[in-house]
Amino acid sequence: MPALENSLYFDHAAAAPLADGVAERMHAVLTEIDANPSSTHPAGRAAAAIIDESAAVLAELIGAEPSELVWTSGATEASNLALKGVAEFAGRDAHIVSCVTEHPATRDVLNQLARRGVRVTWLDVDSDGCLDWVALDAALDEQPTLLSLMHVNNETGVVHDIAKVGQRCLAAGVALHVDAAQSAARLPLDVAADGIALMSLSAHKMGGPKGIGALYVRRRPRQGLSAQIHGGGQQGGRRSGTLATHQIAGFGAAAALAGRSLAIQPTLARLRERLWSHIATVGGVSRNGASSMIAAPFLNISVSGVHGGALLSGLTEGSPTLAVSSGAACSAARGQSSYVLRAMGVPARLASASIRFSIGAGQDEAQIDAAAQRFVDEVWRLRRLAGPLEAW
């Protein structure tokens, strides 16, 4: 990502910079391949071949077959298709189990399905954001239609043990949907080994372009799924609409570099700990989630003695600009503190004064140190304005 003047970018979980060669690949396809990939003439077949190539690369990354991928506009649409498609296919007996800390792309869909009569069971988490395994087993004993679970939480970076969950789902005969938007190219994925029936993916979280994602749909044993977009019969009728060849090519180019991303995760973890060691010196800050359970790029902290909105505004509008997200980003439009942190037992005031740092390729110790200093300076500035820390 070209650096904005006087800006430090620490929001890779929201959108990772385009990986090397992705823009060039997309430009070449966009300017050289004009045909519709559904057309049967040579130009159309050339476009289709590019899509097939990208599918092969992405499928290899997650241990799937290319024919098991459905291209979507992103992970949000992929999760909508998975949840609504499974519920519609199951009919009036549909029962979906999920977790209270899921992304809104899951939570909001399930709340809508519940209003339509679908039975939804929510699993709680502990103070580290981890699943209650006893409650999970009890829910699986009821033979639900589907268990839907994030691999890596988008706010805290807490990692659910998907391999362990998958084995329990296999033993119970329950289909598993995994939201892997934040884990693809950060953690190893193997849909076959982990017993995953459906998986949502997003290109722009892993160095690809925005506006393209995919849903893995298991073929053997076949996973029932009702289409949610109709009109042209593309992709075997699972999701109609003309495919954006250049977007898919960009996704494939990013997926081809996933091995490089996986290799730098230990380095990112060390940078994250360096960032935390500097930030912790300010005092009155707490880390959300146990570090041993958090994916390498994530650091979510809550700050005492400051107003959450003022802190985010001061960081993102000050100088230098620090591009970070509020832990309450997905709830901010509703005027609520982070439901993820509140589910972990974080008090509302601290949940509303939380900041997520997410780091990625290309960042180094100098940037970490500069971001930490910018953060510490802003916290002290706001505390001086707010009064003694004891008042909070």
Active site (catalytic) residues: 330
Give the integer Cα–Cα distance in Å for 183 and 239: 24
**Of all residues in the chain, what percent are helix, strand and coil, respectively (each to 5)?**
45, 15, 40
6 sits in the region (left: phi over 0; alpha: psi -120 to 50; else beta) called left
Whether the CB-CB separation of 387 and 21 falls below 8 Å is answered with no
Across 94-128, b (16+ Cβ under 10 Å) vs e yields bbbbbbebbbebbbebbeebeeeebbbebbebeeb
Give the integer Cα–Cα distance in Å for 247 and 224: 27
Coil/strand/helix, residue 285: strand
Coil/strand/helix, residue 158: strand
Provide the terminal-to-terminal Cα distance of the chain, rounded to the nearest Å. 39
- The alpha carbon torsion through 102, 107, 110, 111 (nearest 10 deg) reads 150
Question: What sections of 38-149 are H helices per DSSP?
Answer: 42-62, 75-90, 104-115, 133-141
